[in-house]
């Protein structure tokens, strides 16, 4: 198999080729770099390339299950010592901010043998669901470059969908892995709270809403990489018990007959459901029914609560204000008036103005809301099935903010987080799968949600769906 052919395969296949000597790690990395140099000018997925370092690493001693496999990391949350850390922010970009240390997850990727080729684009501080930061410009969806790949892991999603790499890091505080996965035809697992450590500098982000993992083209890659990166570190505030079996093994075996609730409505009926997203749900229902699972129209009624977004944004605003102020104190200057995007400037001011009791009020509401939602999984249901989003990928610029309408990006985010954000608040694992293609040829995802600690169940069901309705042969023209 040629290097070009190998780049079309998943990371597990690439790792096996390197391990067998069919291709060298340096040849594979060089091939991925060449592909990036061809595609990235059109897609703008990678903003901080590190090609020379990657080639040198690929030529050196390698170890780990994914030794020599090209990889990308998102320029948010995960840190690599000495590498740029801009978080989509013009302020951080102008400061030339660089990370002081490897995060725990970055160290685990290195131990797995992955070769990081660069850092990917993200919206400013990951607060919206399109990737169009003023600092670096828009990332485009490889399936249709007039559209967004979603956010906030949009750069990583565009890179994986276009076959620059087979897998890339992302993170998810309100849907930021699952939404780009849905928009780009990928597998996007948000692990449960506490499954992957945020150490050593952070214990949690966004009051435990944010999780990190990867975007991949195959279920087995997602499962294998979670096997390698999961695990509690002393001092972490949340603990998720280790899986009883490897996730990779679960992905390869059909699960038992499951009871699955199907959410046909949008939460509270407050938003319309696009026909493409309804069709994706119908596709999943038909497949799961054919497999013998029991599907019932049902869902946690607490999802209809109206106050979740307001409390969620209080926590996000406080967290973003903290992160900006922490850097400002370190460098000795706050952001200038033109160094924050209009919506971020409003979020920043709101975060600074929040009182401790405001924050605690959000936390108390959030925890009660999470308890009410999780109760549904004790009533005999194994999995919840929903669309991933209420609408297909938006066009680039559809929600651009301005002085006249600074909150347009946040308003535009609402239809895309309606199904995803609640499970950041509950901390439950949830996965988006690419089971449908819409009328304009754009991918449409469906979401599966399990109880806390049941990533194994989601991987088993995802693997079964992948075998029944393979999506690997579908690829964008870009």
Catalytic sites, residue numbers? 74, 152, 176
Token digits for 460?
A: 């088993």
Q: Which residues pair with 342 in a beta bridge?
A: none
449: β partners: 384, 430
Query: Residues near 329 by Cβ (< 8 Å), separated by ≥ 6?
Result: none
Q: Which residue has the tokens 């954000």?
A: 421
Of 258, 279, 282, nearest in space to 464 by CA? 258
Distance CA 464, CA 466 (A): 5
Q: Could you give the C-alpha distances from 343 to 28, 154, 206, 210, 350, in angstroms and in order?
A: 41, 19, 18, 20, 11
- Could you tell me which of 91, 70, 84, 174 has the C-alpha nearest to residue 121? 84
CA dihedral 387, 389, 395, 400 (to 10 degrees): 180
């Amino acid at each position: 198999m040629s290097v070009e052919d190998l780049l079309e395969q998943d990371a597990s296949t690439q790792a096996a080729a390197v391990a067998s000597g069919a291709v060298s790690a340096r040849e594979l990395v060089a091939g991925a770099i060449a592909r990036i140099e061809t595609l990235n000018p059109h897609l703008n997925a990678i903003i901080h390339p590190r090609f020379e370092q990657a080639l040198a690493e690929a030529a050196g001693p390698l170890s780990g299950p994914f030794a020599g496999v090209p990889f990308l990391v998102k320029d948010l949350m995960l840190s690599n010592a000495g590498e740029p850390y801009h978080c989509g922010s013009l302020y951080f970009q102008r400061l030339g901010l660089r990370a002081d240390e490897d995060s725990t997850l970055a160290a685990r990727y290195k131990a797995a043998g992955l070769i990081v080729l660069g850092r990917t684009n993200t919206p400013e501080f990951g607060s919206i669901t399109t990737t169009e930061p003023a600092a670096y410009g828009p990332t485009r969806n490889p399936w249709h470059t007039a559209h967004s790949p979603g956010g906030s892991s949009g750069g990583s999603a565009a890179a994986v969908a276009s076959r620059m790499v087979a897998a890339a890091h992302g993170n998810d505080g309100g849907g930021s892995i699952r939404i780009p996965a849905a928009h780009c035809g990928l597998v996007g697992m948000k692990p449960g709270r506490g499954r992957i450590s945020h150490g050593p500098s952070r214990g949690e982000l966004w009051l435990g809403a944010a999780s990190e993992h990867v975007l991949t083209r195959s279920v087995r890659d997602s499962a294998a990489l979670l096997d390698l990166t999961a695990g509690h570190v002393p001092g972490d505030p949340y603990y998720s018990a280790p899986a009883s079996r490897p996730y990779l093994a679960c992905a390869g075996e059909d699960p038992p007959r499951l009871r699955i609730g199907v959410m046909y409505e949008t939460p509270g009926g407050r938003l319309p459901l696009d026909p493409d997203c309804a069709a994706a749900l119908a596709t999943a229902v038909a497949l799961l029914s054919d497999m013998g699972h029991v599907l019932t129209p049902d869902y946690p009624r607490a999802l209809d609560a109206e106050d979740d977004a307001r409390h969620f944004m209080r926590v996000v605003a406080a967290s973003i204000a903290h992160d900006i102020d922490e850097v400002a104190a370190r460098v000795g200057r706050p952001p200038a008036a033109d160094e924050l995007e209009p919506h971020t400037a409003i979020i920043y001011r709101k975060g600074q103005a929040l009182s401790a009791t405001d924050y605690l009020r959000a936390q108390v509401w959030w925890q009660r809301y999470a308890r009410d939602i999780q109760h549904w999984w004790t009533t005999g249901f194994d999995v919840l099935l929903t669309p991933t989003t209420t609408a297909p990928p938006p066009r680039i610029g559809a929600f651009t903010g301005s002085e006249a309408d600074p909150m347009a990006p946040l308003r535009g985010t609402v239809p895309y987080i309606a199904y995803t954000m609640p499970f950041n608040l509950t901390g439950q694992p949830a996965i988006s799968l690419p089971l449908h293609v819409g009328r304009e040829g754009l991918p449409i995802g469906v979401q599966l949600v399990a109880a806390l600690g049941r990533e194994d169940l989601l991987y088993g069901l995802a693997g079964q769906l992948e075998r029944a309705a393979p999506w690997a042969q579908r690829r964008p023209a870009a």
